[in-house]
Structure 1
């Protein structure tokens, strides 16, 4: 096989894997609390079940990949949003991304809990990464004087978990509560 053929296969395999991740994320997001079957995910992605299992040999490997992808998107999202928006707007948009991340886990809770309990997913590491992303957003807002200096990343994380526990899945009510939270994060004149 020629080198260009090998690269094409690798590029194709990468596209398939990324497509499977994107579709699986959407399927888990729209799940009503029950975990979708691997076959349903493959069908939705337009690939055969063998292709899905070639990339993700177990449900756990798929859930792990989605979880890691979502955490990476959240942490990178904080930097990207800060490059595009003023700090308060970046933080508010990031809160929406966090809500989407929470909602995605809806269709994989049983598997995710089992993986955290068994140590397959390092919950503490995820928490550290997410708190660092929130800190970056808060620090940017503090430096411009647009966000209060006495609020911690832990305060924001706890508030978000509370909001998305009450407004689950994220809906208009979640948006309203997030806006109220943002109002409380602005310094008083």
Structure 2
């Protein structure tokens, strides 16, 4: 567990790297540029990340850790289908907000870099559990696969088209009796 100041520096570095990569791409920025944008020293950057690629991977790992946390925290009184749509809504906001970073970093939907795989597996297990519960309750089509829903939502890049695209994806896997628009109206803001 990192000290609070070290955790804050790590978050500053992740945000700075994400912003700079979105603006200039991976080839045109240096570790020094990232450290300067974050307001920390290069030594601090290298204490957290041994290379620029490790920092880029950490940005993606951080996002999947958030996804896992959202999927874990969605236990409670709400229905599994409501939890699923909340997680997918948050994911679509995250991806559309980071569309320029994703493109500049060369990340591809459906291709999980090795650094992300363990965190993604934690998310997949919890999301699959929610999915099976929603299927058992009759809210999700029996033939639908949670990996498809996540992959399709992960391809949403347009902030302006995010909501209707999410409704299209959700409408494709919920059972006919589920009112998609009512379901999505109840999704909270993620941040």
Question: For this structure pair, what is the TM-score category when the shorter chain's length is used for normalisation?
Answer: 0.5 to 0.7
The answer to whether residue 160 in structure 2 is matched with residue 184 in structure 1 is no
Q: What residue in structure 2 maps to residue 6 of structure 1?
A: none
Q: What residue in structure 1 maps to residue 147 of structure 2?
A: 154
Distance 1:40 1:159, change over 3 A: same
> How much does 1:180 deviate?
1.8
Aligned partner of 2:22 among 28, 31, 36 = 31
C-alpha contact (below 8 Å) 1:92/1:178 kept by paired residues: no
Rounded Cα–Cα distance in structure 1 between residues aligned with 2:77 and 2:170: 18
C-alpha contact (below 8 Å) 1:32/1:106 kept by paired residues: no
Structure 2 spans left out of the alignment, 5+ residues: 178-191
Structure 1 spans left out of the alignment, 5+ residues: 1-8
Question: Which entry has the higher C-alpha Rg, 1 or 2?
Answer: 1
TM-score normalised by L of structure 1: 0.67
The answer to whether residue 60 in structure 2 is matched with residue 63 in structure 1 is no
Equivalent pairs counted in the alignment come to 168
Aligned partner of 1:73 among 61, 66, 73 = 66
More helix by share: 1
Rounded Cα–Cα distance in structure 2 between residues aligned with 1:156 and 1:13: 36
The answer to whether residue 162 in structure 2 is matched with residue 174 in structure 1 is yes
The answer to whether residue 138 in structure 2 is matched with residue 145 in structure 1 is yes
Rounded Cα–Cα distance in structure 1 between residues aligned with 2:140 and 2:171: 10
> How much does 1:125 deviate?
4.9
> How much does 1:13 deviate?
2.6
CA-based RMSD: 3.4
